[in-house]
Structure formats: structure tokens, C-alpha cells
Structure 1
């Protein structure tokens, strides 16, 4: 008879861990506080429109392939992937945009046309990024973050200086055009920190971007969730929705004895939490929490977001599936997220129109629009502020893309700091977890295994390896491997 393990939360990391643990013979039950599975990657449907509530970028396809291959499967067994062409588009001003091709040679040509001589520097930069990507994926990101020695091998020693320089310094060393600089600094925003605070080693995100391309699962990111749930179910994992965990119950030896779920006690041998790390520790008696409120307050968190899900009654022009609006001061917005937290003066924003490439996401002749403004976590959140910022970005969107769209809005739904707190128990309403700065990398992140409570483990974006969907899949594997090592 296998050991009983309950997993709190049903996001990517929890689902990945549930598959690995069930395969190893554990009796696995996943508890989800909301009424649908998927964590932040849930789905919203209205009037024939379908939106992913959270993640919308499918990068690093090899990580997804590796996950499914561990079970003798392929992503194509569960969903259809389309490579986007262009991968995305970036607006810098009125009728002034650059499309990022899905072919690396065309990206080199575009750089050269904007800044003569830049192509050779970009090739060198991408060669370095590819080598770092291979090092990261093979040697680093699948490590459990227990010891600094995990980072030490002949490959990383050769690259040690890259941990003490930054993406910003590396990018700006040879590339001088502001537009090209912003394109190269953009991918590290997925890691939740400013380019000036992100180690240069993380340029592997640029290889993920230019080298591996941007993909879209037909039907949306939720198709990946459905595929993982299907796999987990076939392996024997059980799921419970509307299952709110009120307390983690321990005995006098600081062993997990059970959970209080919707007021009812459930016995278990082990608990793995894919829910917010800070929130999970509040489910314990105070003396059993590893990290104090002071600890969390000092950490650099990735941004929160103001999101809008908008149904339009016409097709949108002059935009791509993924469109970034960098027509305002990048550094000023970053400062208002990280250094002087406030509602941004003139925010950068992102728009996603899945229905441009995926007919399943909107009725014919209509468009599904997803808009995102990065915000400082923990700031004031009111309906009035949300509405004011919708007007701000709509004004700019219309002007930059030279079209009128507001009169075509059928409906809109917003999601912001308060919702992240209420729906996901997210610390300060952050959207992406804890940033990957130098002092918050690998063994310097919150630990997967609790040091105070036996049989309690963590997975997800606040522990190793960090923010993002591919890292969440990896985190689920790391956590399950550690549990298996300690309890098999």
C-alpha cells in the first residue's frame, strides 16, 4: 500500500508533481480551493469567447516534451501546437513596430537593418545564450536548491562571471539602438526582475525566445492543463475542487498528521503545497514557520498585474497574436514596480489576441483580447483605478495601431491585486512569484523541504527554480524526486 500524499493547489507544478508521485506508487490527491483545476492557468468563457486567465506564452517547448516523455507520452497526445509567425510584435510609437520572426536568420537581418553591424553581435550573444540554455536545462534547473555546490561544475565555473554581471550590461555592451536593446531585455521580465538586477547568465531566455520560438497550444494554455490532468488521472491521481485547506495539522514530533479541509480533518502521510508558499506557512502554528513576515517583506517579488479580458465585436487590425507596447519609458515603469511602488505613470503593456491565430477562442468575425499591465505587488486596487487604466491603454492602443476599438467592446472583465490575493492566496497579490535576482537564485530561494515540519514539502514559483510555466513543471519534478528520495 503506497503512502498517502495530499497536494495543495492544482497549478502546473502541482499537476507535474502529482504525475511523478503517482507513477512512483504514492496515493495522490490534489486539492483545489477554486471550482476548476489549473491554478492561475484557469480558463474564462463568455458569449462564445474563451480566455486563458493567466499564462499566455508557450516558450521552451523542450521542457514540456521532457515532462510528457517521462511518462512515455508526447505533447501531441494531448494538444496541438502551432508555431507563431511572427512570434510577437513590439510597438515603439505610432505606426512604428517591429515584428519578431520565427526564423533566427530573419531576426539577424532585422537587427542589421535597424543598426548596421549589430547582427554579428547578436549572433555572438545568441551563441552564448544557447550555451547557457543547455547548461541551465541539463545541469542547473533540475537541482533541488539544497546546496551551493549544485551550481558548481566545470561548465558553470567557466561562466561564473556571468552570475556577477547583469543582462543589462551584457546587452548594452555592443548593441546601441534603444529599440533593439528593449527587445533583448524583454525576455527576462518573465523571470520577474529588472534587467539591471538579473544575472547575465539568464540570457538563456533570449535563446528560448529567438532560438526555440513562440508557440501556441490550439485552444489555449488551458489545453496543457487538461492534458496534464488527463495524464494524472490515467496514473491514478484523484482530484477535489472547492477544497479549501484551513490548516496543516501536526503532532508533538512536528510530523504532518493531516489537513483540515473545509472544516473536516483528513489524515495523510505527506503534504506537498503548490499553493503560495507564504500562505501555506500561515496554515501552520507560528513556531513551525520557517520564514518570518520580515523575511518575506525584504524579498524582491515579481510584479502583480492588472488584466483585462475583452470581447470585441470586430477583428482587430495592426497587431499580432502577442503584441507588446514599449512606447513609454521602460526604466520609469520598472522603477514604479520595484523601487518606488505605485500605480505607473505611463505603463508599458501587453496585448494578446489568440483569435488571430486560433479560431476556437472567439466567434467568427470577432476578437478575444487579453491586456496586461505589470504592477507593483501590494498596491491599492480599486474599480476606479482599474477603469482609469483601461482608458489609458485603450487611448494608446487606438492611437498606436491607428484604429477605433472601444465602441466595439462587447464585454470586459478585469483581474488585479485583490483577485490574486483572493483567488490564489498570493502574497501581496503578486502574479509571478519571487524574482530571480542573484540573491534569490537556486539554493537562496525558499526551500522545497520544510526545515521545521517533517513530511511537508513545497513546489511552485516561490521555490526552485523560479517563475514561469516551464520552471513550474520542473519544480514539480524536483519536489517529487526529493519526496521519493526521502520517503520511498
Structure 2
């Protein structure tokens, strides 16, 4: 049941949100829709954060997220705001959902939009694997529903979600799923290397490796192998545009070019609470270079959690001081390439995965525990990588007769790898990494002369993530979903030292990815309401009349 309003809820309505990525925008939309006075401060000239847009010579590139999974989470979010996904986005179901190229060679494997076709594919590769996939996906669907119903929408401010009868009945199975790594779990169903990789690769989206991710995350396979993969026409910046518009229409003020430099606090007056500090607003530098103050009753940081704790708060008020971060896993970094290519590329699908045979050796490079002889630190060679070709689905992202490619190369979260640039102006190691990836894509997918057909090129390195998004150690995604950084063991969304200071985004609960960031915004609202239930909020949110508050 819902508890009485929290202390943060009682002190007033003024909310300042730090960061205009999807988590910050979604938080602004929900809180403004409920009737709070919301100001969002974004350091860049446009909102979107990692989900940005870069345009050159008729090419339009999404600079970050490119997979649309967990559609039920998007549906729920839009319904909370009194609208629907269908009203806001033009979604296309991809078929094939994605294509796998393997280092060992052989025909590429297409994952279809039809679950029966995927079972047939598994069976064609390995006799008996079709039935094994049925069993695997049945467990994945059950775990997914349990996660959505009992964990993902929980703030863990109380012990209720962990003591839920539905959870306790499955305690034995959950313990196994938490303690057994994903790759070992998948190996119990199929033996072919490529099939095991298809079941294990979602760990990469969670910022870790199949050997370190709890097998609980096999639930992700339900999303792509059964539920399908979608794409919003116009790209993921269209999703950002729609959420920003919903926030503004609800009354939120979105301020760009505003770099927050400190969270302001004062000591409270309650003896019972030990005169704890409480948030009173933020200091920021505006687009004109002037230092300003935005007063608030509640501050929500949707910025990088490490940056928030170690740069915006004094040492005495840090819930997560520097010594804590020494024991945490930042997840991988990334080298990105946005490539405009002359001519058609029928060899590639919308989403493409390129997997090395010994991919655990590659993952070891990412955490620094193993290096190949002569290989640069933190960069596997060869590398398992991802290529998105949105021009397969969306003609508006490339000129006629050309293709749009977005390449993601996982590397260590290490700013020394450097920064990228336009037309080979990036740091040497970043540009060399992209050159090797282009050569690998051309060889594995049988695309002769791919490098010579590139007419637009921009690269991004780990130091770009650090400089542009204050990302801890230059990580690309957020804290890795290892056992110690998942569910209730992940950093919570409320400061333990500052009342009225809450967190949203990929480094807090529930975790990495666009759907998780939408849920993190909802968890902020639940904290403010004092709601300790594990269920999603009722749809739609009841908007307060002018001058009134929703209890």
C-alpha cells in the first residue's frame, strides 16, 4: 500500500532537475503533469543527452541509443501522461530484427519478428535447439513479468518487494538466476557458439559481459526473440522531441546552456532528524557565462551519479564518496563511428552484430584483466561490435543512393583512449580503432571497398563521454549490471545525507537503457509520493488543478 507523503513531498512544489537526457526529460514531464513547478537545466544547447542528433551532407545520425525494446514500458509512460505511443511515435517492427555475422564464417543468421521462425532457425543450426529455445524463452518470459511486476518499479525504500509472496515462492529459482552467470546458464540450453552468443549478447546492453551478468538477465531474450524489435521513424531524437514537448506542455521550463556547478543545501531544523541537510536549489552558469541560482524544494539529478556526488556536493554530504567508486564497475566505454556511405549495402540489415569466436577474451580486454599480445590497452583485436543501418528502414536519414551506418565498438572505460572528431581529426587510437572496425565489417559481411565508399565520417571516444556527459571514467552506458550493481544492490534514487535530493538515470535504479530511464523517472515520483509499492503507477496520472497538489 502507499505510505504517507515523504519529507521531500511536504516541503513544497519547486523542483529543479539537473540534466536533459531522457531520464531528466521524463522526470520533468511526470512531475509537471502532476502539478509541480519544474525547471530543468541542461548544460548543452539542446536536450537529449546521449540520445543526440548529428547532421552532415544530408545524413542524419542518432548519436546514441538505437534499439527500441520493452515496448510495454514506453506504452505505460505515455499513458501516464494521458496519451499513447501510437499518438506520439510512428513505430516500425523490424524484420529481420537483427543479423548475426560470426568470425568463424558461414551464412549470416537472421533473427526474425516471428518467434516460430526463430525457433526454426535455432533448430536448423543445432538439432534440438528449437525445443531448447522454447524452454529458455518460457523462463525468460516468466522472469520478465516478475521483474516488471515486482522489482523494476520498486524504489526499495522498504522491504515490501523482497517479502512479496510471489517473490518468496520463487526464492530458490531467483537465487540461482542471481548467482549463475548468463553464459553458463545459456550453455545449459544450446551448444553452438553462435546460438550461445545470441542468448548472451544482451549482457552487453547492460554494460557487462555474459560471464559477469547474472542469468536473471536472460529475460532480455524474451524481448527480441519473442516480442520483436521496433524502430521509431525519424530516429530516437524523435522520441526525445516528443517527451520534451510533453514536459513543456505540462508546464516544465527547459533551460539549455545551463551548467550546474553545485547543489545548494542548508541544515534543517528538526531535532528528530538530527538537523540533516536539505536541498535548497542549485548554482549554475547560464549560456551567457553568468552565475545564477535556481531555488528549489526538491533537486533531482539526472546527471552522472559519480559527477553529482563528487563534484556537486561537499564531502560531508556525499552518499557515494570517492572511496565507494573504487569498488564499482563503470561498465564498458565505446568508440563510435557515424559513417555516410555511397551506394547501397544490401549485405547489412537494420541491426547487425559481429561476434568473435572467443568473445570472452575480448570482454577481458574491457575490464583490463587480460590483454592480447601487442594489442592497445582496453581494445580487443578482433572485436565483437555492433552496426546499425537505419537507412534500411528510414529513408530520411540518408540522401538517395546512400546508406547511414552507426558503428559501436566496445572498449575499456578509459579516457586515455582519447576523443574522436570529424574527417579523421580524432585522436590516433580512436581513428585506428574505427579503421580496423570498418575493415572487419567489410571482410565479414563481404562488402568489398567499404572504406573507399565512406563520404562522411565522425568518431567518438571515451574522453568525449567524459567531457560531454561527465561520464565516470568515460563509460558509455552507466554502471554495469553485475550482481553487486543490480536491483536493490544498485545505488538507490535518494540521497541518504540530503533530504530532497533524488536521482534518476542509468547509474541508479533500475538501470541502463531508455526504458529503464523512463522507469527511473517514475521512481522519482513514487519517492515524492512516499509510495513504497512495487507496481507501476495507475494510469493516467491525475493532474492537479491550478494551485492545488495531488496528495
TM-score range, shorter chain: over 0.9
**CA–CA distance in 2 between the matches of 1:122 and 1:29?**
48
SS state at 1:344 partner: coil
**Which 5+ residue runs of structure 1 have no aligned equivalent?**
none
- Say whether 1:386 aligns with 2:401: no
Please tell me whether residue 293 in structure 1 is matched to residue 337 in structure 2: no
- Counterpart check, 1:3 vs 2:13: yes
Query: CA–CA distance in 2 between the matches of 1:267 and 1:175?
Result: 57
**d(CA) in 2 for partners of 1:69 and 1:252?**
39
Between 1:162-171 and 1:450-459, the stretch displaced more is 162-171
Q: How does 1:21-420 map to 2 (within 5 A)?
A: 21-93=31-103, 94=105, 96-147=107-158, 149-157=160-168, 158=170, 159-160=173-174, 161-253=176-268, 254-262=277-285, 263-281=291-309, 282-340=311-369, 342-382=378-418, 383-403=427-447, 404-420=449-465
What SS does structure 2 have at the residue aligned with 1:41? coil
1:374-403 deviation line (CA, Å, top 9, x unaligned) = 111125223110111112111111111222
Q: Distance in 1 between matches of 2:157 and 2:483?
A: 16
Report which of the two has the higher share of helix.
1
Deviations 1:396-435 (A, max 9, x none): 1111122221111112111111110111001001111111
Counterpart secondary structure, 2:323:
helix
Paired position in structure 1 for 2:521: 476
Instruction: Give the Cα–Cα distance (whole angstroms) in 2 for the partners of residues 206 and 235 of structure 1.
Output: 36
User: CA contact under 8 A between 2:378 and 2:414: conserved in structure 1?
Assistant: no
Which is further off, 162-171 or 267-276?
Answer: 162-171
What is aligned with 2:545? none
Instruction: Give a deviation string over 1:329-349, Cα, whole Å, max 9, x none.
Output: 210111111242622232111
Give 1:452's aligned residue.
497
Shift of 1:79: 1.6
* Contact 2:51 2:65 survives alignment (8 Å): yes
2:326 is paired with a residue whose SS is: helix
- C-alpha contact 2:33 2:247 (8 A) present in aligned 1: no
Deviation at 1:328, TM superposition (A): 4.6
- Taking the aligned partners of 2:83 and 2:137, their CA distance within structure 1 comes to 31
1:147, CA displacement in angstroms?
A: 4.5
Distance 2:178 2:440 in 1: 38
> Residue 196 of structure 1 aligns to a residue in which SS?
coil
Cα distance between partner residues in 2 of 1:150 and 1:102:
34
In 1, the alpha carbon distance for the partners of 2:522 and 2:148 equals 13
**Aligned equivalents of 1:297 and 1:147: distance in 2?**
27
Q: Which residue of 2 aligns with 1:426?
A: 471
Shift of 1:115: 0.2
Contact 1:6–1:271 (8 Å) recurs in 2: yes
Distance 2:150 2:495 in 1: 24
Q: Do the aligned residues in 2 keep the contact of 1:2 with 1:25 (CA within 8 Å)?
A: no
Instruction: State whether residues 329 and 346 of structure 1, in contact with CA within 8 Å, keep that contact through their aligned partners in structure 2.
Output: no
User: How many matched pairs?
Assistant: 488
Tell me the TM-score normalised to structure 2 length: 0.86
Deviation track 1:184-212 (CA, whole Å, cap 9, x = no partner) reads 10112211122122222221101011121
Q: How far does the alpha carbon of each residue in 1:416-471 deviate from its partner, in whole angstroms, 9 at most, with x for none?
A: 11110111001001111111111112221112111111111101111100111111
Which stretch shifts more, 246-255 or 419-428? Answer: 246-255
C-alpha distance in 2 between matches for 1:447 and 1:117: 43
CA distance in 2, matches of 1:399, 1:36: 38
- The alignment's TM-score, normalised by the length of structure 1, stands at 0.97
SS of corresponding position for 1:156 = helix
Deviation at 1:145, TM superposition (A): 2.9
User: Mean alpha-carbon deviation: is it higher for 71-80 or for 52-61?
Assistant: 71-80
Instruction: Tell me, yes or no, if the aligned pair for 1:328 and 1:347 is still in contact at 8 Å.
Output: no
> Which whole-Å CA distance do the structure 1 matches of 2:32 and 2:160 have between them?
30
Cα offset, 1:153, TM superposition: 2.5
C-alpha separation in 2, matches of 1:328 and 1:342 = 18
